[in-house]
Structure 1
Amino acid sequence: GEPILEFMRSPRATDKVKQDLATVGLSTVMKMIFLHDFVHGDLHPGNIIVDQNRDARGKPYRLNMIDCGLVVELGERDHENLVKILGALVKRDGRLAGQLMVDTAKKCQASELDVELFCRGIQKICKDDEENNFLESVGDYLADICYLACKHKVKLEASFINAALACEIMEGLASSLYPEMKVQKIAMPMVARAEMMHMLHLK
């Protein structure tokens, strides 16, 4: 195989192949995070290899993600919390997402006022960006969330940061391959399945 950026510069990378690889790559990362409690801690284009052997579905190429020495596995409870937070952000429920970030933080020095202002800030981020979804503009969201967390003394869990960064990297790569990709179309079924897996729809 060869690194995905090198492959993309070759004549083999037709528009159809790029579209397929973008869809497979994003779906894989979403599955890892939402369904398998597995976050690659060093995901970048150099660690994504295009293998020219047919995959299980008969596609002429498949993606291999290598260098998995840095991985995050949360365990059931922490994974459930991560699914709740990411699910709330995907659904643009910023107040709930903010409160969950506070509630799941292992050490929080924020005052009641800081917590309220933090939650309002997350809600404003979601409301002001109604045309996009969290998973379609992770970088912007993450920068704003980190700023609010520092300002209001809310400690963000590393699992959330790692998962968000993995989403950002793969979303950026997928969008460069297939600009018309609808991230929401791939992400929402994953969120729903993860919520059912943790039975969040019954809570």
Structure 2
Amino acid sequence: MNVESATPLATGSGTLCDDERAAAAQRIAHRRHRAFWIYAGALGAANALVVAFWVVLATVGRLDVVTISIWPGQPPLPKGFFWPIIPIAVCGYLVFMSARRAYPSDGYPDDVLDEEVARYRASHSSGGDNPIPAKSSTNNGRHAPAARPAPSTRRAPPEPRSAGVGSRSTWGSTSPSTPFWSRPGRWVEVDSSGRCS
């Protein structure tokens, strides 16, 4: 679909065509889906640790170590109660609410799409009038990845220091003639026969 045949949609910052809105929805969906699965995995791992802790306590017969009360001043739950169900239920509710945000049933709201298009235009403002990059046939219809900045200049790693002929040092020393108190780091020199000097 080219930009001329797209139906422009009026917004506060100008007009958005269907291609811009679709690209913005894809970027938002990609970010939110990735964040959702990271979040769900972290909560799942945390709940697995809580259950493993409970299993260890149950195995050694020390479930009385952890006492849980629902309200302050109330008697604690019974000794054999599977109390990890409480954090599992809380985390399940949080994952459910995050899933509704990451996978909305009626699409993303217009204001969220407008913000994403504005953010995209601001980050790609040097590119001329059309903020949507042309689709290439070689990239299977996908947008080409952004060019990476040139790598920063790095210093070369330091050359290994030698302790001299016939001996070696376990930690950098400058030379055998340098006094030990002025050599950097801790070191032990070993001569060719294996004796410390």
What band does the TM-score fall into relative to the shorter chain? under 0.3
Using the size of structure 2 for normalisation, the TM-score is 0.25
Q: Which has the higher contact order (CA 8 A, sep 6+)?
A: 1
